[in-house]
Chain A
Amino acid sequence: MEKNNMTETLLKIEGLKTYFFTEAGVVKAVDGITFDVRKGESLGLVGESGSGKTVTALSVLRIVPKPGRIVEGKIEFNGENLLSKSEKEMQSMRGREVAIIFQDPSSSLNPVFNVERQLRDVLTAHEKKMSKEESHKKILELMNLVGIPEAEFRMREYPHQFSGGMKQRVAIARALALQPTLLFADEPTTALDVTIQAQVLDLLEDLKKKMGMSLVMITHDMGIIAKMTTRVVVMYAGNTCEIAKTEDLYEHPRHPYTASLLAAVPRLDRKKTLSIIPGNIPNLIEPPSGCRFHPRCEFATKKCEETPPVLEEVEADHFVACYEWKNITLKGESSK
């Protein structure tokens, strides 16, 4: 049992479909996502903007904003079906079992509360009887944990008095206040200065180890994926394209989309023009038939246009949803 700890499944998503019923039509933001998150691992969720990464996270928490709705699929957390839980049950899970850090800390903190109140509110939302002294102590601990100096003093300050990096630390402290077992980090560094990004990422990695939680990094930055994660899920237009160990994915991408993503990362050691992926991310109201990527794929065949491929296991822990993976050789980040 202990030996298997690393491979025990914490979260299992199968065929998840989350649609937005807008006046212009049904936007299929997430259309059949499948992947799992293992206990204690760092999983990357990567894809272009609009590929459904954030909506996937919101679906797990069951806080998809209107007019969005989960229409199909299975979300299992610790063996329990989250989609059959009542709103009350979900409420007590949010923050305590599953938490999320948002992209922009300047807007994800309540502007009229000081940091202490900000953090205390999460604590008291779940533990109504917590005394002021108790929560104060806990808040001090949390602020020290995320490396905010002068905690005793700074907890009385308001979000606008904090720098971006410090604000994100507050947001992290708030998300970790109840020691969740699963943390979604939704592009946690996109809104930050490059110099601060590394600090925040290191902090997240450090906290993940300390608290033994699972971390799902949502990002479009392949660099962050390489640095932070052990496994990666590649998403495209609401579908899962490829799931693999990070190293595997970088060295032997099996899906043409993954390969194009990797080729689009700027590198100093190769004097080559940066390649782009031709075309745009498809319209999610009327997505392309068959494989969503086929209009932009150089290997597309008739079959790709007709039926959507399903994930198949290419090797241990490496899944790809592509008909052509056997027939094509893709370049990864071979120079290592």
Chain B
Amino acid sequence: MSRDNKPTAERKRRSASQWAVAWRRFKRSKTGVVGLIIVIAVVVMGIIGDFVAPYPAFPNPKALTPFYNNNVRTPPNSHYLLGTDVLGTDVLSDILHGTKYALYVGIVVTAITMAIAIIVGAIAGYFGGWVDNVLMRITEVFLVFPSLLFILVFVRVLTLGAGAGSSINFLGISIPIGLTIVVLVLAVFNWPGDARMIRGEFLRVRELEFVEAEKALGASNKRIIFRHILPNILSSIIVVASLTVAYAILMEAGVSFLGFGDVNTMTWGQILENNFSDARIVWWALLYPGLAILITVFGFNLLGDGLSDALNPRLRD
């Protein structure tokens, strides 16, 4: 038997990992690529938005420069590209400043949601029996709440309680407390659906023979859950996570638009809320932030679809 240990170039190509295969498939999905481009654009905007915006963000008095220049409710023109709103701030600047909040909401809600969902879903699905029963009943309790109503009530009560106007400094980035409360409440009401999905995946994978094989070779439950089963369902988690980002951004906008959000943080939803009363005049102050929400949510959804196609083993060629 020849034991040539040197890989040839041709063989190297063949040994593509599943991620390389997935990327190849992803590239072929046009919608997925469009989604990825939008998401990257939004992320870049979130990072550089504060620096490229024509005017600084609200607590800085310079934000009201258009107001002082008597340019309140100015339609889009060459100086105010997207017009100014009812408060006398530049809409383009507001949207640019708001991008980071949208990303903050999307990412943090998703992170918390997935963390809770993975832990609850993994334990329920893997151990089954009464553990599963208890956890799923708790999950169902969350699911039967009329969630929007509860989110609004909780956000209102909690923002009144905490010093909602202030912000905390985290690694040099100032994080508004009011918005963080909204984020937490959204996450708390969002994990149950994902936990059920992850439980289902665990139920499926734990029956596969390799789990028994790992157990027979001395792997602990913790090891099997996190090192063996979780990587097997990572593709589903990634897809759901990208959709959760979109959902969170949309929900935050909704909460703000209904007037329950953090009034001190100019999120996209907050811009809509501020200008809604004058909607017939300042259409630009509603259209453009609305478009920002729409495109961002659309981007994350497309990305999720693309990922789901690329990572679905049943579609693998």
Contact = CB atoms under 8 A, between A and B. Distances in A.
B219 to A, nearest CB: 5
A153 B234 CA distance: 26
Contacts of A96: 218
A121 B227 CA distance: 9
Interface of B: 1-7, 11-12, 14-15, 17-18, 128-129, 208-210, 212-220, 223, 227-228, 231-232, 234
Contacts of A110: 210, 214, 228, 231-232
Given A150-B4, A158-B17, A158-B18, A63 B215 contact: yes
Interface string A55-96: 000100101011000000000000000000000000111111
Contacts of B228: 110, 121
A43 B5 CA distance: 36
17 contacts: A61-B216, A65-B212, A91-B218, A92-B218, A94-B215, A95-B218, A99-B216, A102-B212, A121-B227, A151-B3, A153-B12, A153-B15, A156-B15, A158-B15, A158-B18, A161-B14, A178-B218
Contact of B129 (A66, A93, A94, A175): A66
Given A108-B209, A125-B223, A153 B216 contact: no
Contact of A93 (B215, B218, B234): B218
Given A66-B128, A125-B220, 15 more contacts: A92-B218, A94-B215, A94-B217, A94-B218, A95-B216, A100-B216, A102-B216, A107-B209, A110-B214, A110-B228, A110-B232, A112-B234, A149-B2, A153-B11, A177-B217
A62 to B, nearest CB: 10
B209 A102 contact: yes
A147 B210 CA distance: 22
Nearest to A113: B231
Nearest to A154: B15
A152 B7 contact: yes
Interface string A141-161: 000100101111100111001
Interface residues of A, number: 43
Contacts of B214: 110, 121
A171 to B, nearest CB: 7
A66 B17 CA distance: 34
Contacts of B234: 112
Given A107-B209, A151-B5, A152-B7, A94 B216 contact: yes
A94 B221 CA distance: 13
Contacts of B2: 149
Contacts of A92: 218
Given A95-B218, A96-B218, A109 B210 contact: yes
A149 B4 contact: yes
A126 interface: yes
Contacts of B14: 157, 161
Interface of A: 58, 61, 63, 65-66, 91-96, 99-100, 102, 104, 107-114, 121-122, 125-126, 144, 147, 149-153, 156-158, 161, 171, 174-175, 177-178
Contacts of A147: 1
A122 B223 CA distance: 11
Contacts of A161: 14-15
B232 A111 contact: yes
Contacts of B209: 102, 104, 107-108
A108 to B, nearest CB: 4
B130 to A, nearest CB: 12
Contacts of B220: 91, 125
A102 B211 CA distance: 11
Nearest to B215: A63
B218 A122 contact: yes
Contact of A126 (B218, B227, B231): B218
Contacts of A107: 208-210
Contacts of B208: 107
B3 A150 contact: yes
A156 B12 CA distance: 10
Given A158-B17, A158-B18, A153 B7 contact: yes
Contacts of B212: 63, 65, 102, 108
B232 A149 contact: no
Contacts of A153: 5-7, 11-12, 15
B234 to A, nearest CB: 8
Q: Pick the most buried of B212, B215, B218: most chain A CB atoms within 10 A of its CB.
A: B218
Contacts of A171: 213
A215 to B, nearest CB: 16
A94 B224 CA distance: 14
Contact of B217 (A114, A125, A149, A158): A125
A112 B15 contact: no
Closest 5 CB pairs of A and B: A95-B217, A153-B7, A95-B218, A94-B218, A152-B5
B16 to A, nearest CB: 9
Given A110-B228, A158-B17, A125 B3 contact: no
B3 A149 contact: yes
A65 B209 CA distance: 11
A113 B216 CA distance: 18
Contacts of B18: 112, 158
Contacts of A177: 217
Contact of A112 (B129, B217, B231): B231
A150 B4 CA distance: 5
A111 B209 CA distance: 11
